[in-house]
């Protein structure tokens, strides 16, 4: 089964070093992605937990 990724969303915070490393890695590889800063947006933080079940960052969501 060959699925193509339509969108990559990185949920992150400004203080998370692992979030910064992942963002830099994605950019260095030229991989298009969207970054959602959950420390600035409580709505997006709640959405992240509901959609992924994860409460810590980074969280990377792939949409096919």
Q: What is the pLDDT, as a whole number, of residue 1?
A: 62
pTM of the model: 0.90
pLDDT at 11: 98
For 1, 12, 14, 17, 26, the CA distances from 42, given in Å and listed in that order, are 36, 12, 14, 20, 24
At residue 49, the pLDDT reads 96
Residues 16-63: pLDDT tens digits? 999 999 999 999 999 999 999 999 999 999 999 999 999 999 999 999
The pLDDT score that the predictor gives to residue 2 is 79
Of 53, 50, 61, the C-alpha closest to 26 is 61
């Amino acid at each position: 089964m060959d699925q193509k990724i339509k969108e990559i969303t990185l949920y992150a915070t400004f203080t998370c070093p692992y979030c910064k490393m992942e963002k830099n890695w994605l950019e260095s590889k030229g991989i298009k992605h969207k970054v959602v800063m959950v420390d600035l947006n409580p709505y997006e933080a709640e959405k992240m937990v509901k959609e992924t079940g994860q409460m810590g960052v980074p969280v990377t969501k792939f949409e096919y």
